[in-house]
Chains A and B, each alone.
Chain A
Amino acid sequence: MTTRLARGGRLIDRGAPLEFTFDGARLRGYQGDTLASALLANDRLLMGRSFKYHRPRGPVASGVEEPNALVNLGKGARAEPNCRATTTELFDGLAASSQNRWPSLDLDVGVVNDAMARFLPAGFYYKTFMFPRPFWKHLFEPVIRQSAGLGPAPKDRDADRYEQIHAVCDVLVAGGGVAGLTAALAAARSGARVMVLDQAPHWGGRAPVDGGEIDGKPVETWVNDALQALETLPNVVLRSRCMVAGVHDHGHVLAEERIADHSPGDGRPRRRLWRIRAGKVIAATGALERPLAFAGNDVPGVMLASAVRDYLVNWGVSPGDRTVIVTNNDDAYRTAIALRQAGLAVPAVLDARERAEGDLPQQARALGIRVETGKAIARVQGRKRVTGVQVCLQAGEGAVLEDIPCEAVAMSGGWSPVVHLWSHCGGKLLWDEAGAMFRPDPVHPPTGASGQPMVVCAGAAAGALRLGDCVTDAHLAAGGDGGAPAGAAPIEAPLAPVWVMPQGAPVAMRAKMWLDFQNDVKVSDIQLAAREGFTSVEHAKRYTTLGMATDQGKLSNINGLAVLSQALDEGVPQVGTTTFRPPYTPVAFGTLAGEARGPLFQPLRRTPMHDWHEGRGAHWEPVGLWRRPLAYPAPGESVEQATRREVLAVRQGAALLDASTLGKIVVKGPDAGRFLDMLYSNLMSTLAVGRCRYGLMLNEQGFVIDDGVVARLSEDTFLCHTTSGGADRIHAWMEDWLQCEWPDWQVFTANLTEHYGQIAVAGPKARALLETLGGMDVSAQALPFMGWAEGQIGGVPVRVYRISFTGELSFELAAPAGQALDLWRQLMAAGEALGVVPHGTGALHVLRAEKGFVIVGDETDGTVTPQDLNMGWAVSKTKADFIGKRGLERPALTDPDRWRLVGLETLDGSVLPEGAHAVADGVNANGQRKVQGRVTSTYHSPTLGRGIALGLVRRGPERLGEVLEFPTIGGALVKARIVDPVRYDKEGARQNV
């Protein structure tokens, strides 16, 4: 049984009991417990099932490296799968449930996979589900998907809030253990701005459990003193529960702070993402203990020696009355000593080394603990929990010398420095033969913006595992002046690298030696991968899934590499490591999204009339970050019906459009005309003051990128209208050319898009409407087509442009943004008698398509030239140069076979599907049907009472009258005739009145 001892537990408060549930059972723990320690205290050793074989699993670790004890936390809008019980702080009312089991954790049908394990080796899926090919899509994949994943993804919208914060510091210390605190003190005393972040809720790392003295004080006392000293320094920020997830380019560090995981619903944000620019990162991230590979090392009750020690010392939890220690190093003897001092039995320490004469083994012996050197575990007995171990010789093949009954096994295969933060930005690693570990290669650090070393590892993370070395190293890493703190701890003898136990284990044993506990990767799987040619460590990883579980191989990678290197008969450094990638431990999607969700997902740009549209029940169309009314459906009216009504309102009376989103860029200066002549394909410098001209902008390739009307405001000032989505892009484009290509031209540009509200008044009654309000002469004589004038309408100062995108008599009124809504309201009120309505972009699109006017982005896609759009007239033949002129001369762009703009009319009057392609005879090299054109815009035209479309068709304008075939997704063919794109008022009489 695992149980709570009567005494002990430095992190728990026995005066503060808490209630929680696991799979519905009500259990009790204490303030300061983790979910794992509380479950163990309640003899709930079985916490999960492995991914592939559904093997019963208990915790193997006590921290972030835990691969087994993953649970679902919370319910409904606070449900979260795959939470590590070992790092989940207990709180009153916590509700956890187990995963990857059915019907229950104790009785799991999926365990049948375990019985089949012999037939489910590495690469089983790759080998098995290849043929017949259709089976993959219809049979294999659906079945495999059903069984994939551990916990189910939550279905409800997350109830919690997440936030993000930016910070800057000179020195960021990742890890608040003795090394981190030493480094922080040294850095802070030099005056640097220091941030110290630790993933745990408490400071000191694991040194208080391991013991020893610093500066003559017990470690725990020293830690408290160091913390107090740091807290008083104004240049130090301390954050616990804050995990440094990754070190990125130029000292950009991301960290995730768990603010309210342990107090859900208290009103605080649940987590916070820190985006930090650090001058230097000190990675005092410690080291992780490695498991040993022996048969049955995954049976619940087999734990890391350090984890057994943690549960005992931190939380007063006994792993069982009798614990066998198995090790290749001195450190694990600390666990034996701690257990014995807590009054528990240690039947034996099985040490794979031939000799164990260090301080710690001697202390153990002095306590009467039996120490067996040269010994190993042949097999762990028990299934859902350990009942005993069989002892064998490490040097042999596993012949059983002795059975030792026990409830727990504490294993230690040595320690691996946590080099993740060093490696994220390219720091290189050294293989340390003596320590059998990868540690940072100080000659090849990750470098920052000026090429300086950006990360330094300190203490155990740098390979300085012993307390004394650890604090000295950390002090030096932080550039500390004077003497380092002096750490004192027992002297440890070197470990013996042991990767497989016993060294001559037969295959039946190797097939029960787990490397990756969560993904069920065993020693035999890595050896199989090597035999099958997956000799690169990255290939072997993906073939076997070693290290690909939620723990990302924190326990398994080094052991897996070592087994692979033995199978390949190469050294570990030759085999190399897989890549360490951020985040160090999983970061919640919510944290990364922060406040950018719901209404705050994107900024929303509103025109001055936005609220009016909303009040009128506008159906919105997103245009960039703007919202534009697509139509204004009346009660009981569909969007389509409203669009038809609005089209007819423009054609027969008058209607208003909010055109405020159109880009408005002022270009001013002595060289403004010359500059616009370069930017537009047609001539702009000849435009008279008071007049407007439509223009096309091309890129250097010769393709259309934007269009709009340019008005000349004065001799040296032009106002360039751009597409709604294009204002920022075109303004940046102008600035690029001005600053980089023609810096000596005297031109200023200003993007005034949001300074004006713009209202298009279109329809035969448009002039009558403006005259009702009065204030300026808008007669054809005073303000002819393609002219503009300044004045007042209804008391509002306006610039009125006689331009038309609907083909009707049309005025665009630009008013200062603050007065545009007033003008809009006056127009609506005055128009009531005339039957004036607002119209949306839906109607606008139909109206312009009836006139054959193109929309950049509909008729163009970045590969369309002015000539393709039949707008050769807008390409100057007299200008010596303009952007795109040389590009248009390329043979592919002058090819007469290019697809060009036409109108398309279905023979049956129906609306062509959007994006439909016109097929041609024959097939291409890939066996696909050849195409000869496509639909770019397609609508029902209420004016014409039929479907109309615009499209690009090979040699289109030369083929008027031909009938093309458009296959639809359902397989039917729609026939459409090529017609003139201008379907309505070809002479343009209606707009020019």
Chain B
Amino acid sequence: MLTLTCPYCGVTAEETELTPGGQAHLTRFGPGSSDAEFEGYLFARTNPKGVHFERWRHAYGCGKWFHAARCTATLEVFGTYPAQAVAPPDDLIAHIKARRPGWEGWT
């Protein structure tokens, strides 16, 4: 069971306090989008062995959604940040690069 620190309330939360929300930083495609764009938005998800950006909600705590950067192989958590961020913060990217020198980057 994971522990993640909620970037809003600062609580180090047990996984039982959290609900997962899948891959972070998806762009919503609505009416007018092409079939390929919409298909990607609905279905295409990365499934890396290694660094992954995810959505979590502190559902049984402050109720806020946030993002977490986590290694799917070792479960190392590199950091959490607000869900309103359109990209991971620079210091987090730097931290991940330090921890995973071969990492290709987040996009």
Q: Are A700 and B31 in contact (CB under 8 A)?
A: no
**Contacting residues, chain B, for A248 (C-beta < 8 A):** 1
| 8 Å CB interface, B1-35 against A | 1-3, 14, 19, 21, 28-33, 35
Least Cβ distance of A444 to chain B in Å? 11
Number of residue pairs spanning A and B whose beta carbons lie under 8 angstroms apart: 67
Residue A450, interface by CB 8 Å: yes
- Residue A250 CB within 8 A of the other chain: yes
Cβ of B77 < 8 Å from any Cβ of A? Answer: yes
* Chain A nearest CB, measured from B21 CB (Å): 7
**Given A447-B76, A449-B75, A450-B77, A277-B3 contact (CB < 8 Å):** yes
Check A743 against B31 for contact (C-beta < 8 Å): no
Mark each residue of chain A from 233 to 267: 1 if its CB lies under 8 Å from any CB of chain B, else 0.
00000000000000011101000000000000000
* Number of B interface residues in the complex (CB < 8 A): 30
Q: Report which residue of A277, A740, A889 has the largest number of chain B beta carbons within 10 angstroms of its beta carbon.
A: A740
Binds B, one of A31-39, A608-616, A731-739, A983-991: A731-739
Q: Tell yes or no: B65 within 8 A of A by CB.
A: yes
* B38 CB contacts on chain A under 8 angstroms: 886-887, 890
Question: Which among B1, B41, B57, B74 is the interface contact of A736 at CB below 8 angstroms?
Answer: B57
**Residues of A with C-beta under 8 A to B107:** none
Contact A250:B1 (CB < 8 A) given known A451-B74, A887-B42: yes
Query: Which residues of A from 703 to 739 have beta carbons under 8 Å from B?
Result: 732, 735-736, 739
* Interface residue tally for chain A (C-beta within 8 Å): 27
Query: Does B47 count as interface, using CB distance less than 8 angstroms?
Result: no
B31-62 CB contacts (< 8 Å) to partner A = 31-33, 35, 38, 41-42, 55, 57, 59
Q: B65 near A249 (CB under 8 angstroms)?
A: no
B66 to chain A, nearest CB (A): 9
Does A701 belong to the interface (CB within 8 Å)? yes
Question: What distance in Å separates the Cβ of A208 from its nearest Cβ neighbour in chain B?
Answer: 37
Cβ-defined contact, A736 with B21, below 8 A: yes
Residue of A739, A880, A886 near B64 (CB, 8 A) is A739
Interface status of A816 (Cβ within 8 A of chain B): no
B97 within 8 A of A: no
With most chain B CB atoms within 10 A of its CB, the pick from A735, A881, A886, A890 is: A886
Q: A426 touching B77 by the CB < 8 A rule?
A: no
Assembled-state Cα–Cα distance A700/B19 (Å)? 20
What residues of B have a CB within 8 angstroms of the CB of A732 in the complex? Answer: 19, 57, 59
Residues of B within 8 A of A881 (CB): 30-31
Q: Is the interface of A mostly helix, strand, loop or mixed?
A: mixed
Find chain A residues with CB under 8 A from B32 CB.
886
Residue from B3, B19, B57, B64 within 8 A of A449 (CB atoms): B3
B residues in contact with A886, CB < 8 Å: 29-33, 38
A residues less than 8 Å from B59 (CB atoms):
732
Complex alpha-carbon distance, A735 and B71, angstroms:
27
Scan residues 404-427 of chain A and give those whose CB is less than 8 A from a CB of chain B.
426
Q: Which residues of A contact B71 (CB under 8 A)?
A: 451
Chain B nearest CB from A302 CB (Å) reads: 43
Q: Which B-chain residue is minimally distant from A885 (CB atoms)?
A: B31
Query: Taking the complex as formed, is A895 at the interface, i.e. its CB lies under 8 A from any CB of chain B?
Result: no
Cβ of A741 within 8 Å of any chain B Cβ, yes or no, is yes
A250-B1, A886-B38, A887-B42 known; A449+B76 contact, CB < 8 A: yes
Q: What residues of B have a CB within 8 angstroms of the CB of A451 in the complex? A: 71, 74, 76, 99
Chain A CB within 8 A of B69 CB: no
Known contacts being A249-B2, A252-B1, is A743 close to B84, with CB within 8 Å?
yes
Q: Which residue of B lies closest to A738 (CB)?
A: B65
Q: How far is A700 from B41 in the complex, measured between Cα atoms in Å?
A: 10
What residues on A are CB-neighbors of B64 within 8 Å?
739
A739 engages B83 (CB within 8 Å): yes
Q: A249-B1, A736-B21, A740-B55 are in contact. Are A701 and B31 (CB under 8 A)?
A: no
The answer to whether A249 touches B84 (Cβ under 8 A) is: no
Chain A residues near B75: list those with CB within 8 A: 249-250, 447, 449
* Contact assessment for A449 and B2 in the assembled complex, using a CB-CB cutoff below 8 Å: yes
Q: Which residues of A contact B14 (CB under 8 A)?
A: 277
Q: What residue of chain B has the Cβ atom nearest to residue A735's Cβ?
A: B63
Q: How far is the CA of A964 from the CA of B25 in the complex (A)?
A: 49
CB distance from A86 to the nearest CB of B (A): 32
0/1 per residue, A733-756, Cβ < 8 Å to B?
001100111010000000000000
Q: Nearest chain B CB to A891's CB is how many angstroms away?
A: 9
Contacting pair A736 B31 (CB below 8 A): no
A740–B3 touching, CB < 8 Å: no
Known: A886-B38, A887-B42. A447 touches B74 (CB 8 A): yes
The docked-state distance in angstroms from the alpha carbon of A627 to that of B41 is: 39
Q: How far is the CA of A887 from the CA of B30 in the complex (A)?
A: 8
> Cα distance A880–B33 when bound, in Å?
12
Residues from chain A with Cβ under 8 Å of B63 in the complex: 735
In the complex, the chain B residue whose C-beta lies closest to that of A701 is B42
What residues of chain A lie closer than 8 Å to B74, measured between beta carbons? 426, 447, 451
Q: Which residues of B contact A426 (CB under 8 A)?
A: 74
Contacts of A890 in B (CB 8 A): 35, 38
In the assembly, what is the distance between CA of A739 and CA of B21, in Å? 13
CA distance A252 to B55 in the complex (A): 22
Asked whether B30 lies within 8 Å of A740 as measured between CB atoms, the reply is: no
CB neighbours (8 Å) of B1 from chain A are 248-250, 252
Residue on A with the closest CB to B41?
A: A700
| Nearest residue, chain B, Cβ from A728 | B59
Q: Which residues of B contact A700 (CB under 8 A)?
A: 28, 41-42
Docked pose: A22 CA to B33 CA in angstroms: 76
Contact (Cβ within 8 A) A449 B77: yes
Q: How far is the CA of A701 from the CA of B30 in the complex (A)?
A: 11
Whether the pair A736, B65 counts as a contact (CB closer than 8 A) is: yes
Shortest beta-carbon distance from A903 to chain B in Å: 33
Chain A residues proximal to chain B, CB less than 8 Å: 248-250, 252, 277, 426, 447-451, 700-701, 732, 735-736, 739-741, 743, 880-881, 885-887, 889-890
List the 6 closest A-B pairs by CB distance, nearest first.
A451-B76, A252-B1, A739-B65, A743-B84, A740-B83, A250-B3
Between A and B, 27 residue pairs with Cβ closer than 8 Å are A249-B2, A250-B3, A250-B75, A426-B74, A447-B74, A447-B75, A447-B76, A449-B2, A449-B75, A450-B76, A451-B71, A451-B74, A732-B19, A735-B63, A736-B65, A739-B64, A739-B84, A740-B65, A740-B83, A741-B28, A881-B30, A881-B31, A885-B30, A885-B31, A886-B32, A886-B33, A889-B31
